[in-house]
Every structure is written in C-alpha cells, then in structure tokens.
Structure 1
Amino acid sequence: MAETGSEKIDDPERQPNDDLDATEVRDVEDRRASSSRIVHEVVRLQGEEELARPALALILSGTAAGLAMTLSLMCELFLRSHLPDTAWAPLVYFLGYPVGYLIVILGRMQLFTESTVTAVLPVATKPTGQNIGRLMRLWLCVIVGNLVGVTLVSALMAGEIIITHEQRLIALDLLGKLELQPWHRTLTLAIPAGFIMAAIAWVLPSAKGSEFWVIFTLTYVIALGGFAHVVTGSSQVTFLWLSGSISMAESWLAFTLPALLGNIIGGSGLFAVLAHGQMRSDTSGET
C-alpha cells in the first residue's frame, strides 16, 4: 500500500529514537533534510536563477570562467616543469588540474558542464517550449563565453606573453604526447566527464563545508581517467592549434564538438534525467 505524506511523518519507525537529546535530534533532522528531493529542489532553483540571467551577464561570466579554467593547464605545466619524465609524474602534475574548477565553481562562474544538470532540471520539471528556449540560450551564451576565455589565454601562452619560452616548449612536449583521438572516441570519453561534472553540481548542496574536497577529488578523477572536458580540453587543443602543431579543423572536429556532445549526454542525458527520474519515483511512491 502506498504511503501518504502524513503517514510517513507519523511513522514511529522513521522518527529519531527517544533516547536522543534535543541537539542530537536536530542533527538527525538536519542530515535527513538532505534527501534527494531537497537536493533536487536546491539544484532546480539554481537552474532557474541561471535561466533568468541576462545574455550579456551569462557571456561575461562564461568568459571569466574560460579564463580561469586555463589555470588548470598552466598549473599542470608548472608542476611538470619540476618533475622527471617518469611513469608516476602524471599523478603529481595532474594535481594542478582541479585548480581552474575550484576557482570557477566556488566563485559561482558559468561553466558549461555544470549547467548540463542545473539548468536542465527546470526544463525536466516543466518541459515547455519557453523553458527549452531559455535552456538553449543559456547553453549558447555560456559555451561561447567559455571558449572565448580559453582561446584568449591560449593565444597569450602560444605567443609566450604570460609564460616563458622554456615553459612553452614544455607545454608542447607535454601536450604533444596526448594524441588526438578519433571523434567517436572523444565523444565516449566526454560522457563520463559530463556525468562527473553534473555529479559535482548535485553533491555540492549537501557538502556543507567540504566543497573544496568534492570538487578537487572528482575533477582529479577526470584527469586521471583521461576523460574529455570540453572547456579544459579546448584550452589544450587551442594552444596546440595556435602553436602550429595541429590545424583548427582538427581541434574542432576531433575534440571540441564531440567533447561538447559527450558532455551534454553525460550531464543531461544521463545524470540529470536519472536524478530527476529518481525524485519523481520517490514522489509517486508516497502518493
């Protein structure tokens, strides 16, 4: 028999034990408040705020995020320049990979892969033509801003304006060892990255002071797994393109476009739909 909302509240088996004091009961209730439905609503409201922002604000925030995301590439480069060429070296210089994400996510800048879950939940809740149009507008503004930001910094790096000649050579050596995958392989590698980024947006409302470690750990996994993130990966391929190592067509067709599609599939097609479906299932089970 399906439970009603009042039956769930009155069920003694779902209430804190009587031997807990008032402070412990409050702690239990605080932890129980972080249910899937509460998290879903927090993330949905974040998405509503993003969808309501003016286009110019989205583009500027996305550009700032793109500029900041190139710090992931630069920090990897700086760490790599002090390490020997050994099998364990990536475990160390990949520690620089989360830096850009930490700045962007904690700074509440617009990063495309975060919006694959936050901005999608309002649409999944109310799939109207207006909401779909708002989602497309947000995605376009944010991805354009992100790519403009990474291109600006990559150009400064390729021109040896913000890095030295030696650092540029190290970057070319480091990135030159990363062969461009066929587009379909890039797409499949981008799906887990999109899923992980959506998971970050989903977990953060419940992190309660552990936001740094959530972002750091999960983005470090992206680096270790060799997964394809459209923004950070574009900073790498754009640097190679502007340095003359690959063509513009290769950078877009072999990486940027398939990575974009894979991130959308992983973040929206998998995580957002599953998270929303879980919430709907929980709700229907109580009515």
Structure 2
Amino acid sequence: MTTPTSDKTPDLSAKEQHEVEKSQPPRAAVLHEIIRTQGDQELERSIAALWWSALAAGLTMGLSLMGMGLLNSRLPDGDEFKVIASFGYCAGFLAVILARQQLFTENTLTAVLPVMTRPTLKNFLRLIRLWTVVLVGNLCGTILVAYVMLELPIFDSKTDVAFLEIGRKVMEHSASQMFAKGIVSGWMIATMVWMIPSMESAKMWIIILITYFMALGDFTHIVVGSAEVSYLVFAGELPWSDFWAVFAGPTLAGNIIGGSFIFALISHAQIRSESGAPKESADQAVKPDPQSIKK
C-alpha cells in the first residue's frame, strides 16, 4: 500500500523513501503466495523423492529424543533443569527444516494452501498422495531410529533411562489429551511455517522459539512423539495397540486439525477477503483527463 503524499514525513530524499518502502513487512497475501507456491512444488514431486526425503526426516527427528535424553541424564533432577533440557527438543526440527527434508506437520499448511486456492479433485488427490507418503516415511524413520537407539550399545544406562522417562511422560496423557494437545502443536507448527518467509534471516530463532514452547507445554507431535513412544514399545513397556490407538491416532488427527482446518483455513479466508475488496485498477489510476487531451 502506498502512503498518500500528504501523510509522508517531509524532507525525505528519494533514497530514504526507498529505504522506508523496502523495510515494510510483506503483506499476508505475499506470504500466502510464497507458501502456496512451495506447496505446489511439493505436490509435483515424485513418490520416490518424497519417500526418501520423508524417511530422512524421520531419522533426523530422532535428534529431538536424543537431545532431550542426553540433557536430562546429565542435569540434576528438578523442574528448573527440565526447562533447560527442553531445548533438546528443538534439535530435530532445526535439522529437518534447515535441511529441507519432508516433515508431515509442515505439509498440513504448505501443501494444503494450493488445494484451498484451487479445490479440484486432482489437487485433493495430490494432497492425499503427499500426506500418505510423507507420513509413512516419517514414521518409518522415527520408529527405526528408536529401535537403533535402544538395541545398539550407543548410550550409557543413565541416558537409556532418560529416554524411557520421556516416553512415559508422553503416555501419561489420555487419548483426548493427546488430541487436544495435538491441535495446539499443529497450529504452532503452521504458525512457524507462516512466519519464516517474512523473517528468513531469523529462521533458526523462530524454529527454536516455537518448538521450545511445544516442549515446555508437552504438546503432542506425531513425528517426534512416535520416536519417544515407540522406544517404550521396543523396551517392552507398551503394546503396539496403545501406540496407535492412544498416541498416534489422536495426535495425528489433532495435528491435522490444528495445522490445516484451523490455521490454514483461517489464513486462506483472510486472503480471500482481502482479494475481494474493491481496488482501483492501474488503467484507472493513470487514465488521462479527456479535456486535457483536447487542449
């Protein structure tokens, strides 16, 4: 939006005025288009490319479990030290997002915007294809990394106990709590994805801020949580039925609702409302006065 001439601060040079315009944050419509374009590119990727990227992301997300376990096992007991240990949760998200690997909860916003912009059957089927491949790839990666962390002699016994405690804490929640916390988690990840294009230079800090608060609030995340809870399964403390029915199903539903049906839908509705507002066309803005032409 251009500021009316009468409202501008006087005595600004052309260079200074350019600096003012350049420093303005992008409009919501610009952010929407950036993310929609990214989503459209993801929807066009082959199944093989999506699969290997999603599998790599699942393996990489094991860094969150590893980071929290290592910090918890090396810090004294006490709530104040749990606050510090929660920073370990950020490790997997940082690595996955900065490496541009496929993370399911990112796609609850990124890949959904093209479908909301053009809700055709073809786009919807492309979305289902992407979600299915990425989710399965993520879960295979996290479950595999949890098995390796438990079965191979990588960590000391104190760290192994810390991994178990992390999984037990997740499973203290009922299925309804998993669902409710998953909604908040999905909304927070979508917020993070929306913020990054406007603050690319601060991307790392945005990721740390959002995921750190997710850890502090014990909000459930389908990918990180699958590493934490499957560790319990492989340790013999939890049946697979509880993994799917109590944790995975409710958390997945919550993440999708929080990221797609709340954040993405509201953000898209905002852009649709703005685009429907009457605007002066470029032709009207420069149309000359007929009387002046006659003169």
Superposed pair shares fold, TM > 0.5 = yes
How many Å apart are 1:10 and its aligned residue?
A: 7.8
- For 2:172, the equivalent position in structure 1 comes to 180
- For 2:68, the equivalent position in structure 1 comes to 76
Q: Which amino acid aligns with 1:66?
A: G
Contact 2:166 2:228 in 1 (8 A): no
Instruction: Tell me whether 1:89 sits opposite 2:81 in the alignment.
Output: yes
- For 1:285, the equivalent position in structure 2 comes to 277
- For 2:45, the equivalent position in structure 1 comes to 53
How many Å apart are 1:161 and its aligned residue?
A: 3.8
30-39 vs 120-129, greater mean Cα deviation: 30-39
Q: State the alpha-carbon separation in 1 of the partners of residues 93 and 45 from structure 2.
A: 21
Q: State the alpha-carbon separation in 1 of the partners of residues 2 and 171 from structure 2.
A: 57
Please list the CA deviations of residues 199-250 of structure 1 after superposition, one character each: whole Å capped at 9, or x if unmatched.
1111100013100100000110101111111100111001111111111111
Normalising by structure 2, what TM-score? Answer: 0.90
- For 1:168, the equivalent position in structure 2 comes to 160
Q: State the alpha-carbon separation in 2 of the partners of residues 119 and 62 from structure 1.
A: 14
Instruction: Tell me whether 1:100 sits opposite 2:79 in the alignment.
Output: no
Instruction: Tell me whether 1:28 sits opposite 2:20 in the alignment.
Output: yes
Q: Which amino acid aligns with 2:64?
A: S
Q: Which amino acid aligns with 1:263?
A: N
Instruction: Tell me whether 1:269 sits opposite 2:261 in the alignment.
Output: yes
Contact 1:68 1:104 in 2 (8 A): yes
Instruction: Tell me whether 1:116 sits opposite 2:114 in the alignment.
Output: no
Which residue among 35, 38, 59 is the counterpart of 1:43? 35
Contact 1:180 1:254 in 2 (8 A): no
Instruction: Tell me whether 1:191 sits opposite 2:183 in the alignment.
Output: yes
How many Å apart are 1:282 and its aligned residue?
A: 1.3
Instruction: Tell me whether 1:127 sits opposite 2:125 in the alignment.
Output: no
Q: Which amino acid aligns with 2:220?
A: A
Q: State the alpha-carbon separation in 2 of the partners of residues 174 and 89 from structure 1.
A: 14
Q: Which amino acid aligns with 2:268?
A: H
SS of 1:228's equivalent? coil
Of all paired residues, the percent bearing the same amino acid is: 39
Unaligned runs of at least 5 residues, structure 1: 1-7
Change (3 A) 1:163 1:26: farther
Q: State the alpha-carbon separation in 1 of the partners of residues 169 and 122 from structure 2.
A: 45
How many Å apart are 1:109 and its aligned residue?
A: 0.7
Larger Rg: 2
Contact 2:191 2:263 in 1 (8 A): yes
- For 1:152, the equivalent position in structure 2 comes to 144
Instruction: Tell me whether 1:218 sits opposite 2:218 in the alignment.
Output: no
- Count of residue pairs brought into register by the alignment: 279
In the TM superposition, 1:206-245 aligns within 5 A as 206-245=198-237
How many Å apart are 1:89 and its aligned residue?
A: 1.7
Normalising by structure 1, what TM-score? Answer: 0.92
Contact 2:55 2:141 in 1 (8 A): yes
